[in-house]
Every structure is written in C-alpha cells, then in structure tokens.
Structure 1
Amino acid sequence: MPQNLESARNRQTRRDETIRKRFQSELMKKSSSRGASREMPSAIPHHLRVPGTVGALRPTQALTVREAMTVIEAAQLMAAKRADCVLVVDSHEHLAGIFTAKDLAFRVVAENQDARNTLVRDIMTRNPFCVTIDTPATEALTTMVKRHFRHLPVCNDEGDVVGLLDITRCMYEALEKMERAYNSSRKLYEAVEGVEREWSAVQPAAMMQFVEALRDKMSCPNLASVLNESTRPVEIGVRSNVREAAQLMKTYGTTAVLTTEGGQIAGIFTSKDVVLRVIAAGLNPDNCSLVRVMTPHPDVAPSDMTLLGALRKMHDGRYLNLPVMDNGEVLGMVDVLKLTYHTLEQVRPLTATDPTVRY
C-alpha cells in the first residue's frame, strides 16, 4: 500500500482507539450506575466441551444489558468493549433480545430515530433464536449462515445466558482445520495429476472426465466462483451523509457500502462504523459526511484468490467485508457469511473421509 494511503488508514485507526479509550474510562466510572452492563463468565467447563457440540466451539463472553438502557449508551458500551452485539436480559436475567450494529444502522439511523432518547427494548430483536451447549456444532453454524446471523446466543435450559457464538470467531478457528483438510488431499491431488499425465494418451474420454471431476473436488474454489448478483456492491459518494448511507444499507440489506469519488473507490463504510465512529462518538448522522468516518482505501482481493486465502486475509485485517477487484474494476463485495458458507460446503466432502478434521 502506498505510504500516503497507509497514513490515512493509520489516522483513522488512531481516532478509533481514542474513542474506545474514552468510553472505556467512562464505563469504569459508572459501572455501578443504572443500566450498567455485565459480562457473563466466559469459560465453558472442559467436561461440557464435547466434540461436535456448541460447547466445543468455546462460546465467548456475552455482553449483556438491561432493556431500559438507551441506544447511545449501548453504542458506547459496544465501542468500549470492541463489540458489535449485546444481549438484552430482563429483570430475571433471562434472555429477552439481541441488539446489533446492524439494528443500529437499520432501525435507528436509517429510520431517523434519536439514539439518545430511544431505548434498547424498542429496537432489539425480541426472543432471538438461541442454542444450548449440547446443540450439534454443525447445526448451530448452519443456522447462523443460512439465517444470516453473525451472532447466536447460547443459553441453558432455564433461559439464562451462558455465552455467545460469533460466526467470525468460529470461522477463524475452523480455518486451520479447513486448511488441514485441503492439505491432507494434496498428495491425492498430485497423484491424480500423475494419473492424468500417464493416462491421457490411452484412456477413454469418460475416464478422463472422472479424473477431472475428482481434481475439481479437491481444489479450493476462488472468489470468482461466488460472485453473482447478490455480491454486487452498493456504492455511494463520499460527500453523502451517514443517514443516507444507513438508508441505502437497509434498502439493499447490506452492512457495508463502498464510497466513491470521481468514479473511483475511496473507502468502505460499515454498520460497525455507525456504532463506533458516529453514534458512540455523538455525531449527527445528518451532518456527518462519509469521508469523515469511512475506512479509506480498503484492502481488496483479486477474483482468483481462493476462498481460504480471502478468509485468512479478512482474519488478519480484522474486517468482515472484502471488495473483489481485477485491473481496477470492482467485480463485487463478499462478506464473512458468504465465504464461510461456501467454504464449509467445499470442505464437507473432504472432512467426511478425514477423521482428524472435526467441527
């Protein structure tokens, strides 16, 4: 990345850290005040981490808030804790709802609600889908991907919150296993290539088609294979305001838009940015232009990058959306859910015959 572009990214990162530290300090001062949040114990006892279950996925610590907390307080808490989701509990500590960065963008900013006077209970998703620690891991992950959930509460039989599944964390921990699955097939892949070279001159077409199909199944697909109408990026000018961007996100059902200037990609703006850089920071969505709060010059990936390579890139860069570009042309934008879904679909046939890989 050119030095001036890297400098712009670094400045935005420093501003983010300043916002977080401010709210971390304020959170400590008022931790005992009304509506204070608390974090549930994060450790799942080892005897409950049964292979193949949600317990084995090691659910993270769940950040919980009361229903009467205001939206801006929730946003500030999420900013302080580097979270894009809080679980809402009632007076009996039972799960009542879930409130995410997407809810903030779609239901507050896009609908012109005042974050200072709107309560979490008026915006949250009530009675969210949840799982228990003994729910099959594949069932939980499939539910998250197919229903487009980035977060899934984990509760006990009484409805008490015991943890939270984050699709990104689950996916990143599975990366190593996915890569091992493909690596374990590499020798077979090389053998197939050898067979093809030896047989190509003497074997009938039907046999060669079988060999080609087998090789395709062992090849990790690239980003071009997942690009379609649903991955077409939503674009908006850098001088547009946050309210307009949030409304565009809601219209197209996306949590990220690409910002443009002079016909070129200038940055990316996401629902997480709405939380940290706008609402938590106390900015007015109507008077805040995207150029102030976007991530400038986002990382991109070529269409021939493998899905595993793209997931690794997103993991290392700590982002959830990745523009796909070839020769300066934007071909699409993929998110962690789409890549996770397609990767799991590709890996499943390999893991079925490899007992060392479990999810």
Structure 2
Amino acid sequence: MNNFIWSVLLLMGVLSHLPALAAVEYKIVTASERGTYIKIGNDLAQLVAPSADIKLDALPSAGSAENVRRLRYDAGVKLALVQSDVYQAFLDIAAGGNVEARDMIRPLRVVMPLYNEEIYFIVRADSELNYIHEIQNAKVNAGESGSGTALTSATLYRLMFGGPMPQAGTSYLSNEEALSKLVTDKTVDVVAVVAGQPAKLFVDMKPESRKLIKLLKFDPNHSTSAGVLKTYFAASVLAKNYPNLLTTDIPGLAVKAFLVTYDFQLKETETNLRNMARALCQNFSTLQEKGHPKWREVELALPDLGRGWFYYAPTTREIRSCIAGKANVAVPVKSKPAKDCAQQERILGLCKPV
C-alpha cells in the first residue's frame, strides 16, 4: 500500500471518530412559568429549533418589558416574546427624548406577529364590580413591576380614565401573591393578568374557584371603550377553556404578541436566525397540531407594522420566500402612541420611581 493511500485511510479513520458539530446554543426570553409565553417558547425550542441546528433554551422572565432589556443586553439571548403595547411604549418614550429607551428599542426587530393575548381582570366573587370600566377607585394589582402586564394595566387605565393609576391604590405583586391577598386579607380588589387562553393559572383552578373569584367583562358600548379599542382588541374569554371558572363565554380584551429579535449583523448569527425562520415556516403545521392551542390563531404572514417598527431583514426574506404564492391577507397591526408615559416609564424602569 503506497503512502498516499495509507494517508487517506488514516485521515478517514480520524474523521470518523470526530464528534458531530454541536448545535449552536441560543436563548429566548418568555414570561412567567405559569403563563402562555413559556409554552410558546418551549414549542419553538422543541418543534422548530432542532431543524435549524439550534439548541434553544426558553427562559422564564418577569415579562415583556424585561424581555426587551434582556434581548438588548444579555449574551446568548437572540429571541424574545413581547407584547405590542410594551414595544410601542418603548417607541413612544424614545420619541419623547428618553435616550435609554431609544438605545434599547432602536436595534430591535420583529420576526413575525403571533397571536392575541387575553387581558383578565379578576375580582372577588361577591364584588360589586362586573365590568372593567368600573375599576377606577379600586385597589388594583397591576402585575409585577417591569412586566408587560403592569404596562398593559397602566395603559388601559390611562385610556379609560385619562390619568395614571393612583399610586396609593396600586400594587405590583406576582399573580399568585395578589390572588391570595384578593381572597384572604382583601387588601387587593382587582388582579390584572395577561395570558393567552387557555392560561395555566386559570386551567389549574378547582371548581370551588367560582365561589371565590370572577372575571370582569368588557363593555364595547361604554363611553371609555372607543379609546381602548384603538390600542387593544375585543376578544372573548371562552368557557370551554376554563370550565371550572366560567359557565358562559364573556367579552374581554386582548393585546398582540410578537416574536422579536435584535438587528444582528454578525454573519453567523444572521445565518442561524435565517435557518430558524425557515424551520419555523416549514414546521408551522406541526406547531399548530402539537403546540399550544394559541398557535392555531397564528397566521403565517408578515403584515405591515406600525410606525417605528421594523422586521428583521434576514428572517423576513426567508419567511416571504417560504410563503411565496400563498394568498395570505396581511392585517396591519397599529397602535396609537400614548400621550403621557410618566407611569409607563416608571414601570419600564426608564426613570426613577417617585
């Protein structure tokens, strides 16, 4: 055997024992471990990322506002789930001259819109309150400080009543702690929760829950509703999703969820995120079949975004190429900028608390 053949065989033997290239490790920030975002993140990690040779770790967080920060500054975080009103709030605050908000939001990019997340307002079963527009003088738990829920609560309150939530009557506890106080020491009158249905928090409740709590309804005909519906969406909370809590569907509100990334310029990262977008499109039917029920509400499309919003060009090209020729109707998602963001800035951590 000549030296050349021997060298080739030796090289082949060495190569056969080399380990396969490891999948690149990325992270996606979601929300509470009992919420919908973590389920969506896990679906992407399990049903999509492997096809793109990505090991995706779905991380819990305080919610959308924290996700914006972590996507901007945390190493390894390449994707985030963010509520549309939180994203818009950062844009509005940045437009108002806040440098920190501008630096955080300017390089963020949308991969694609996802679904509507329902907004719940929970009161005691014996409460005199029945509608969302009746919470003005109540003690409201807005959601954890820095969370998307807290931002949504503050924005909704401002849209309905023309001013910020009263500092003295507003708390920022976790859902679980707030619900406990709601039904025990009654130091909380209303608990705000944002989660796509079916939300684990309510699914896990026992039938006895009806004797303790109830959900407030949204009245689209009330005088406060027109302004609210310029930013949020009318929705129905379905009794079939919460049979232990509801006997009939009730009218509610929802906010849009977005899959967001950063304007990464590094070629390797661009390539990996393009592969992720292609895998998402190719495995979309699997997501709708095996993933969280919310995937069945997602349309594989890239509608026009509001002013100041931008898609991530590399993933956009992949998704558009994948859906080329399909008759997808794009429905624009628009949000109206808030006039006064003082309370929003505090919740987002963009100014010192008063």
**The two structures share one fold, judged by TM-score above 0.5:** no
Pick the TM interval, shorter chain: under 0.3
Q: Choose between structure 1 and 2 for higher RCO, CA contacts under 8 A separated by at least 6 residues.
A: 2
TM-score (norm 2): 0.26
More helix by share: 1
